[in-house]
Chains A and B, each alone.
Chain A
Amino acid sequence: MSTHAPVARVNGLVKDFRIPGGRVLRAVDGVSFEVGRGETLGLVGESGSGKSTVARMLIRLDRPTAGSVEFEGADITALRGAALRRQVRRRMAMVFQSSSTSLNPYQRVGEVLAEPLRVHRVGEAGARGRAVETMMERVGLDPAFAGRYPRELSGGQRQRVGIARALMLDPSLIVADEPTASLDVSVQAQVVNLLQDLQRDLGLSYLFITHDLGLVRHLSHRVAVMYLGRLVEVGDTAQVFAEPAHPYAAMLVSMRRQAEHRILPAGEIPSPIDRPSGCVFRSRCPIAQARCERDVPPLVEIAPGRRAACHFPGELRPGGTDAPVHVPAAPPLVAPLTSQKGR
C-alpha cells in the first residue's frame, strides 16, 4: 500500500507515567511511524509493550510527554477544545477491545450510534435516525436492535455496535485496539471480515493493535513491532514474516513456523520501570553482545520501507517457512444479514 501520503504520522512519541515513590515509568519511548491512506498498519507486541498507550496518544485520549502527532497533514499534538473535536474526534475513531465495557450500559444502541452525530451537530434528528439505521445494516445488525441496551446483545453484536459507532462520522482513520480479543474465534473471523469489507468500500485506514500474529499476518499491509515501549521493527507484513530483521521480531514470527524452528525468548519481559540499558531487548536476546548493553540501537532503514532497531539486523533467522496466511473460515458478513437473532 502507498505510504507516500500518510493519513497519520507520529514522531518520537514518549509517554511517562508518574508512579508512587516519585519514580517515572516510561511506557512509550520515542515511537515514530506513519499510517498510509487506505492502509492497515498492524501494531504488535506483548502486553505491557506500550501498544495501547501509543494508540491513545495517536487519537489524543492521552497527552504525549514528548513527540508529535500529525493527522491529515496537521499537527494535532496540542489541539484542545473545539479544534480537537473538529479535527480529531470527527475524523478519527477508536474501536475498543472490550465491547462489554466500552458501551455505555445506560444508553440504547440507537443512542450510542446517534450520539457522535448529535455532539458534532450532524444532520437533524430524523436524518440521524436514518443514518443509524443505514449504519446498522452496513455492519450486519438488525436495525430493530436500536432500542436495545448493550447487555441484551451478544459479544459479536456489541462489537459490531462498537464498529458502527466508530464509523458514524465517516472517519478517515480507525484505531482498533484488539477489537477481536474478547470474541469467540468464529465471531472474530466475522468481525475481521467486516473490518476488511469496510476498508475496501470506504477507503478507511486502520491502526490495528493486536498480539494475534495470525490476525496481523492476514489483515495488515505493514506491521510495526513494539517491545518495552520501543519500536523494534517496521516493514511490509509479508517481508517481516518471511525475513525478520530484529531478533524479537524473529522470535515472534517463528511462532508461526513448525515447532522445531520456534525460537523461545529467555525469561519474562522486564518491568518498564527497570528497563535494561542499551538495547531493551538484550536481556532476552540470544545474540546479544557487549555492545548491546552500551549503545541504544536506533531504528534505522535497513532496506527500502524497512526499519529495524538492532546492531545486528537479520543475524537471528528462524528456520522453516512462514505458515500459510490464515483465511477466516466464516462466511463474509456484509449486510443484509440473515443469521441475526431477533429478526
Chain B
Amino acid sequence: MIGYIVRRLLLVALVACGVTTLLFVLARLSGDPAELLSPPEAPPEVVEATRIRLGLDAPLAVQYAKALASSFTLDFGQSFAFHQPAAQMVFQRLAPSLWIVVPSIVLSVLLSFAIGVAAALRPSRLSGRLLMAGTFLTGSVPYFWLALLLVLLFAVNLGWLPATGGEGFTSLVIPVTALTVAAVSTSARLARGQLLDSFGEGYVLTARSKGVAPWRVLLGHALPGALPPMLAWLGIEFSFLFSALLVLEPLLGYNGLGALLIRSVANQDFPLVQASVFCMAMLITLVNIGMDVIVRLVDPRLRTKAAT
C-alpha cells in the first residue's frame, strides 16, 4: 500500500511537469504580454524595457527551466499585472473557491447517494422512474443558467440573497446550489446503476437467502461492490466543479480562484496563470489519487499479496 501511494505521488511530479510545459507553450503562443502591458502608443524602447523587466527577454530554454523549477519551489514570480507574488495571490483566492467546491461535493454526494439508493430499491416503480426522470431534467439544465435564474429569483425579485459574491454565508447559497444540482444528476444515476448491477450479483442473492435484512443486504453486500466506480467518479466530479468555477465565479462576481484565472488569462499574466492552473491541477490530481487509494482500501480484490 505504501509503495502504491509513493508510486502515485511520483505521478504527481510528472503531472506537475506536464502541466507546466503545456502552460508554457500555450502562453508563448498566445501573444506578447509586454505589448499588452505597455500603453498603446508606447515607443518600441518602452515595450522592450517592459519585456526585460518581466524577464521575457531571456532565451526560451532559460524561461522554460525557470518555469519548471517554479513547480517545485512553488515560487511563480511576481504577477505582471498586480505586482504581488503570484503564489500568494492564488493561495488567498483558493479558500473562497473551496468554500464553493467542498460544500457542493458534500451535498451532491449525500443527495445523489440518497436518490440513487431510493431509485435502485424500486427500479420499475413509478417513484423510482420519477426520481430518474428528475435527475435527467436537472442534469440537462446548464449550471450557469440555473445560477442566473436563482439570482433573478432570490436576489433580484425576492431580495433574500446577495446577487454577487460578497462576503459571508449567504453569497455561497446560489453557486453551491447551482453546482450541486448539476453534479447530483450524473452521480445519482451512476449510484443507481451501480447498485442495481450489484443487486444482480450472485452474492447479493446469497445474502438474501441467508436471511440478511434488506438494509443490511444493501449496505453490507451490495454497496461495497458499487462503491469503487462511485468513488472514482467523485474524483472526476471534483475536477468538473473546479472547471465550473471558471464560468460561475466571474458570472457571480465571486472573488475566487476561477475569477482570478480568467482575469490573468485575459491579462496574459503568465506567472499568475501558471500559479493558478498549477494549483488547480495539483488539487485535482491529489484528490483523484486520494480516491484511488480509498478504492484500493475498500476493495480487497485490488489489493495484491505483497501490498497487504
A interface, CB within 8 angstroms of B: 59, 61, 84-85, 88-90, 93-94, 96, 98, 101-106, 115-116, 119-120, 149, 151, 162, 165
Q: List 18 A-B contacts (CB under 8 A).
A: A85-B213, A88-B211, A89-B209, A89-B211, A96-B206, A98-B202, A101-B202, A104-B203, A104-B224, A105-B225, A106-B224, A106-B225, A106-B299, A115-B207, A119-B210, A120-B211, A149-B301, A165-B210
Q: Do the beta carbons of A115 and B299 come within 8 Å of each other?
A: no
Q: Do the beta carbons of A105 and B211 come within 8 Å of each other?
A: no
Q: Do the beta carbons of B209 and A93 come within 8 Å of each other?
A: yes
Known contacts A101-B201, A101-B203, A119-B216, A106 near B300 by CB under 8 Å: yes
Q: Do the beta carbons of A102 and B203 come within 8 Å of each other?
A: yes
Of the candidates B206, B211, B213, B298, which one forms a contact with A103 in the assembled complex, judged by CB atoms under 8 Å apart? B206
Of the candidates A59, A88, A105, A120, which one forms a contact with B300 in the assembled complex, judged by CB atoms under 8 Å apart? A105
When A and B form their complex, which 3 residue pairs have the shortest distance between CB atoms, in order from nearest? Answer: A89-B211, A101-B202, A102-B202
Q: Do the beta carbons of B210 and A115 come within 8 Å of each other?
A: yes
Interfacial chain B residues near A106, Cβ < 8 Å: 224-225, 298-300
Q: Is the interface of B mostly helix, strand, loop or mixed?
A: helix
B294 to chain A, nearest CB (A): 14
Residues of B within 8 A of A (CB-CB), count = 21
Q: Do the beta carbons of B205 and A96 come within 8 Å of each other?
A: yes
Interface assignment of B221: CB less than 8 Å from any CB of chain A: yes
Complex: how many Å from CA A59 to CA B210? 10
Of the candidates A84, A85, A105, which one forms a contact with B203 in the assembled complex, judged by CB atoms under 8 Å apart? A105
Closest residue to B216 on the A side, CB-wise? A119
B304 to chain A, nearest CB (A): 11
Complex: how many Å from CA A119 to CA B299? 23
Interface string of B209-235 (1 = CB under 8 A from A): 111110010000100110000000000
Complex: how many Å from CA A308 to CA B285? 68
Q: Do the beta carbons of A119 and B212 come within 8 Å of each other?
A: yes
Complex: how many Å from CA A149 to CA B224? 14
Of the candidates B209, B221, B224, B225, which one forms a contact with A61 in the assembled complex, judged by CB atoms under 8 Å apart? B209
Closest residue to A98 on the B side, CB-wise? B202
Interfacial chain A residues near B205, Cβ < 8 Å: 61, 96, 102
Interfacial chain B residues near A96, Cβ < 8 Å: 202, 205-206
Interfacial chain B residues near A98, Cβ < 8 Å: 202
Closest residue to A151 on the B side, CB-wise? B301
Interface string of B289-307 (1 = CB under 8 A from A): 0000000001111000000
Complex: how many Å from CA A119 to CA B301? 25
Q: Do the beta carbons of B211 and A119 come within 8 Å of each other?
A: yes
Closest residue to B214 on the A side, CB-wise? A81
Most buried by A among B201, B207, B209: B209
Complex: how many Å from CA A115 to CA B301? 20
Complex: how many Å from CA A53 to CA B213? 22
Closest residue to A101 on the B side, CB-wise? B202
A61 to chain B, nearest CB (A): 6
Closest residue to B305 on the A side, CB-wise? A152
Complex: how many Å from CA A98 to CA B205? 12
Complex: how many Å from CA A59 to CA B208? 10
Known contacts A89-B209, A116-B210, A149 near B300 by CB under 8 Å: yes
B272 to chain A, nearest CB (A): 47
Q: Do the beta carbons of B216 and A104 come within 8 Å of each other?
A: no
7 more CB-based (< 8 A) A-B contacts, given A89-B210, A102-B202, A119-B216: A61-B208, A101-B202, A103-B202, A103-B203, A104-B206, A115-B210, A149-B301
Most buried by B among A59, A88, A94, A106: A106
Interfacial chain B residues near A85, Cβ < 8 Å: 211, 213
Q: Do the beta carbons of A115 and B209 come within 8 Å of each other?
A: no
Complex: how many Å from CA A101 to CA B213? 20
Q: Do the beta carbons of A90 and B300 come within 8 Å of each other?
A: no
Q: Do the beta carbons of A119 and B201 come within 8 Å of each other?
A: no
Interfacial chain B residues near A89, Cβ < 8 Å: 209-211
Complex: how many Å from CA A116 to CA B204? 13
Q: Do the beta carbons of A94 and B301 come within 8 Å of each other?
A: no
Of the candidates A93, A105, A115, A162, which one forms a contact with B212 in the assembled complex, judged by CB atoms under 8 Å apart? A115
Complex: how many Å from CA A93 to CA B205? 12
Complex: how many Å from CA A165 to CA B216? 18
